[in-house]
Structure 1
């Protein structure tokens, strides 16, 4: 019960600073591209160019066949866009405290906001690409449906998972500087272990169960179910939903507790 009260106290502290978080998110988003010719447009140019290259390679070069009777570019787009958001957030949030070391010694500043600011800053770009998904599906003749709204549930899933992971990795990075490199390596491994460019339907049941242990699998497949397969999350795989939320809640709780316990020592290692 004491740990639970500490957890609620930590969340309450963060939520009480929500107006400051919003303002710092705007500042962080602008700071990333300050001084460049195109400015904030680079935030949207990089992923767009990458998606265009992948589309050209697979659709034009390899002449990839439709996936589940859907154009491959749409099937791929519904999987790679949530991955972009997840990987960008975790990579940047893991170094958020280290990159803002000057704020750690300011007692009036709540350090727990820093990972959240990085996540919300990337969220602005992700919302733009969710609109791109709607536009691309409309161009191919697939009009919006009620199932599409489910994507916002999976967006909430992603943010909740990221908050717990970022509190954990950002605090550990200060004491174990190799944490950032480990996160990068794990993300590279997870990219190919997540069904972004390949379909999990051809896997054996045993292999598929191992792949499903990856929480990002739930998110990527959820985006596809929202736009392609038209299935509600409580109908298609309710057991996977229970597993995801049990794991995510555990990560969120562990991340908050580790962050809270290590926070008094941040200034000593910077």
Structure 2
């Protein structure tokens, strides 16, 4: 596994240039450019905010500010969009780049790393947009927002750990990608992005806390909305899980790497 990581490091300039080229290609003929990256999650957040705040009367517990729920929602969307992009794209990355894998010799692990790099750039652009919205709403994040890079690294590790494993499996069983589309939809509603974790019944909350994205999204909401540190005690097992998943994924990738190109 060490040789895989060293190979990716030796090709770090290839990874960086690929991320830059992908972003350029995405916006080359687009008049709105990077706006499209942030438009979809922001639109989703606005829709949820209107439906839940105005139609369903959702309010932040103990907070009377009418914009509080919108801020809470934006924080959750920021964390979830990074995770879902890495996971969904990693699952298809080897299949989508089959021609490249057949024709060019390079470390195949670079592909999911490029996916993660592009997702981080998108998340950075989204954060800038969200920060601008928060300024307009008069909600300037406090110093605890400096924990966001730590949370982003944890999301990347978790997304790649699961995504690489499922990406290898998807090469041999193509139903994996289709199944995960449905799983991600269910997973989203099992994560406190659009609802408040504090108002969940104790028993139901205990069940949902087995979801590794539960404390991660709570962490995003803590630092952006409440100016509180992330729940480090709850995040410890998520970090351990992410490291374990990365280890298993690299092991499976190494064992299946030679057969992958033949199947593709």
- Identify whether the pair has TM-score above 0.5, normalized to the shorter chain: yes
| 1:83 lines up with 2:80 in the alignment | yes
In 1: Cα distance, 2:197 partner to 2:236 partner: 20
Deviation track 1:3-24 (CA, whole Å, cap 9, x = no partner) reads xxxx222212112211100111
TM-score (structure 1 length as normaliser): 0.88
**Contact 1:103–1:109 (CA under 8 A) maintained in structure 2:** no
Number of the residue aligned with 1:3: none
Report the alpha carbon displacement of residue 125 of structure 1 after superposing the two structures with TM.
Answer: 1.6
TM-score (structure 2 length as normaliser): 0.90
Q: CA RMSD in A?
A: 2.0
Number of the residue aligned with 1:4: none
Report the alpha carbon displacement of residue 42 of structure 1 after superposing the two structures with TM.
Answer: 2.3
In 2: Cα distance, 1:88 partner to 1:33 partner: 18
Which one of 133, 137, 152 corresponds to residue 134 of structure 2?
137
**Which one is further off, 12-21 or 125-134?**
125-134
Mark the CA change 1:84 to 1:101 in structure 2 (over 3 Å): closer, same or farther.
Answer: same
**Contact 2:45–2:73 (CA under 8 A) maintained in structure 1:** no
Number of the residue aligned with 2:260: 266
Structure 1 gaps, min length 5 = 1-6
Report the alpha carbon displacement of residue 61 of structure 1 after superposing the two structures with TM.
Answer: 3.3
Report the alpha carbon displacement of residue 40 of structure 1 after superposing the two structures with TM.
Answer: 4.6
Report the alpha carbon displacement of residue 220 of structure 1 after superposing the two structures with TM.
Answer: 0.5
In 2: Cα distance, 1:23 partner to 1:205 partner: 48
Count residues in correspondence: 261
Which one of 172, 181, 185 corresponds to residue 182 of structure 2?
185
Which one of 162, 167, 176 corresponds to residue 165 of structure 1?
162
Number of the residue aligned with 2:196: 199
| 1:245 lines up with 2:239 in the alignment | yes
Structure 2 gaps, min length 5 = none
Number of the residue aligned with 1:61: 55
**Contact 2:37–2:125 (CA under 8 A) maintained in structure 1:** no
Number of the residue aligned with 1:231: 228
**Contact 1:104–1:266 (CA under 8 A) maintained in structure 2:** no
